[in-house]
Amino acid sequence: MQFPWTPTRLDDGSYSPSLFALKAAGTGSKFETDQPQLPLNGKRVLMMCTEEGHMRMKNGKLFSTGNHPVEMLVPVLHLLRAGFAVDISTPTGQPVKIETWALPNDANVRSLYQDRREEFAKPIDLRTFDGEFAFDPADYIAVFVPGGHGAMLGLPSSPEIAPVLRWAHRSDRHTLTICHGPAALLSLQATAKAEGDEPFIYAGYKMAAFPDQMDRKLPLFGYLPGKIPWHFEERLSALGVEFVNTRIEGATHRDRNLVTGDSPKAANAFGKLSAQTLLAALAS
């Protein structure tokens, strides 16, 4: 007998959140906007996703993860409505991993998920980026790293992610990231020696993100099958980042060209803020 707070064991031996955790997280409508559909404006957003889908807990159990669909698709819906095109990429062109157990019951989100299935399966390979995009960088106004615990896998040490983040920062583009997505910013530090021991780009920035103290509580009600192997907030804090939230409260924040949000609860507001910020940049 499976208790409601026991993580669900999947066919591949990994675990998804318990029934209790899923109910607490909610799968209702996440997409609300008063933004009218704007025509395409010629600018693009590069979404950089994880291609790894299993996180090994400290107890050895595997958590079935990837990018959280609410944190990925709800912001994309806002960006598309605002007239931006969104391209999907992974570090080496492997398929995007998605926490499909978290797919919400929102018709717009599910429709977008179905429409982009082929792009999720065959994303842009970020190894085509080498200081400049193999495709025209002038078209890109922002890069976006969605959340989900999968963002802590591969991306924080990725030699493919770091050059894109550096390019965005140096080129006055915007960086958008939510929940566990900021873990990808650690790739800047991981590859710093190759760049001449540069200072951490986001030292002194404020951001919203999924708090470490909440990650420590997730095993208690079966969202995770054990304790996660490391915590990204403490590592970013050590590099000079200041976090504006200590709880999951739907917080969003903008600091210069960095736009952040704390969790699925923030996905809608984060999407709106991202779209409004990019429209303002386009108009300036």
What pLDDT is recorded for position 196?
57
In a domain, 187, yes or no: yes
What pLDDT is recorded for position 1?
46
User: For 5-50, what is each residue's pLDDT tens digit?
Assistant: 789 999 999 999 988 888 777 555 556 767 789 999 999 999 999 9
Neighbours of 196 (CB within 10 A): 6
**To the nearest whole number, what is the mean pLDDT of the chain?**
92
In a domain, 256, yes or no: yes
DSSP E strand boundaries for the chain: 8-9, 15-16, 44-48, 54-56, 62-64, 85-90, 124-125, 140-145, 174-178, 206-207, 242-243, 252-255, 258-261
Catalytic residue check, 179: yes
What pLDDT is recorded for position 155?
98
In a domain, 32, yes or no: no
In a domain, 81, yes or no: yes
pTM score of the predicted model? 0.95
In a domain, 133, yes or no: yes
Nearest to 130 by CA among 194, 220, 37: 194
Number of compact structural domains in the chain: 1
In a domain, 28, yes or no: no
User: For 131-170, what is each residue's pLDDT tens digit?
Assistant: 555 556 788 999 999 999 999 999 999 999 999 999 999 9
In a domain, 170, yes or no: yes
User: For 160-189, what is each residue's pLDDT tens digit?
Assistant: 999 999 999 999 999 999 999 999 999 999
Which one of 96, 179, 185, 207 is the catalytic residue? 179
Residue 107: what are its φ and ψ, rounded to 5°? Answer: -60, -40
Asked whether 68 and 263 are in contact (CB, 8 A), the reply is no
In a domain, 36, yes or no: no
Q: In terms of residue numbers, what domain contains 219?
A: 8-23+43-283
User: What CATH number does residue 80 fall under?
Assistant: 3.40.50.880
